[in-house]
Amino acid sequence: MLGHRLAWLQAQADHAHGSAVRDLLETKRPSLLAHGHLSVNIIHATGIEGARHAQGTVVVIDVLRSFTVSAYALAGGARECRLVRTVIEALALAEQTPGAILCAEEDALPVDGIPISNSPTQIRELDLQGKVLIQRSTAGTQAAAAVQGDDIFAASLVVARATAQACLLRNPATLTLVASADHREDHACAGYIAAVIRGEAPNLEDMLRPLRDTERYRRVLSGAWPGFPATDLELSLTADRFDFAMPLARQEGYLRLTTTTVL
């Protein structure tokens, strides 16, 4: 745990993951990859429908920002994160959960009455030691809830390499990497994880260049997105800050997200 505690001391915004999370399964040439004696059939998928049809070990990716927020919360001492689909569910679960802190967004905008907006900048400023973070988002928590199987990780760039290693330890025949929305940073993270599994050295700057060329990126960088400071970008787009992966487990009424250290 020392590794990610130290990383915690280091020091876009989640765009509107838009209300429409893309519901198309995007199977980009499933490929048989070798990693030592391990062969993995990697499938790339997108959105809720992609998550619903995911096979094997499943990694649900939300870089800007849900699962980046989860990682910073856990690194900052949170006991666990609990993911739900709706704001109503989040509010109800918070009332039932001692020591709960609630963060939520709808269409990538703050929710009235909930001061924390799924922002890693905001999360890092909180005392989370021993607390439970309850999260609702437009893309990440929706896609995670849509997965049918039980071998699931939540991921973002800050835990990408650790997630790849955790998947390899599973020795899966098939791995599905789900971009929770059709955003360039989520696809870049999926490509980064796949490259690590292939034993390659991915060039993240090249992978993120399409994102940095967008109006969406420039708007986030300007700090003009309500509830999401521009500092979210640097916190979210740096790979491998933490040495843990984030497995998900089904509980009644929510998904429980915790850590497993693999590096």
In the predicted model, what is the mean pLDDT of the chain? 87
* pLDDT on residue 39: 83
Q: CB 206: neighbour CB atoms within 10 A?
A: 10
Q: State the total domains in the chain.
A: 1
* pLDDT on residue 203: 96
Q: How many angstroms separate the Cα of 52 from the Cα of each of 97, 193, 203, 218?
A: 28, 20, 30, 32
* pLDDT on residue 36: 43
Domain that holds residue 115: 2-261
pLDDT for 151 beyond 90 = yes
Q: CB 195: neighbour CB atoms within 10 A?
A: 18
Instruction: Classify the phi-psi angles of 56: left when phi > 0, otherwise alpha if psi is within -120 to 50, otherwise beta.
Output: left
pLDDT bucket at 38, cuts 50 / 70 / 90: low
**Tens of pLDDT, residues 168-204:** 999 999 999 999 999 999 999 999 999 999 999 999 9
pLDDT above 70 covers what percent of the chain? 85
**Tens of pLDDT, residues 141-150:** 999 999 999 9
- What is the torsion angle, in degrees rounded to the nearest 10, for the CA atoms of residue 214, residue 220, residue 223 and residue 225? 120
**Tens of pLDDT, residues 43-80:** 999 999 999 999 999 999 999 999 999 999 999 999 99
CA pair distance 174, 167, nearest whole angstrom: 10
CA pair distance 57, 39, nearest whole angstrom: 13
Of the listed ranges 33-37, 57-61, 171-175, 259-263, the one predicted with least confidence: 33-37
**Residue 49's CATH number:** 3.90.1560.10
**Tens of pLDDT, residues 81-114:** 999 999 999 999 999 999 899 999 999 899 999 9
Helix axes 204-212, 184-197, angle to 10 degrees: 170
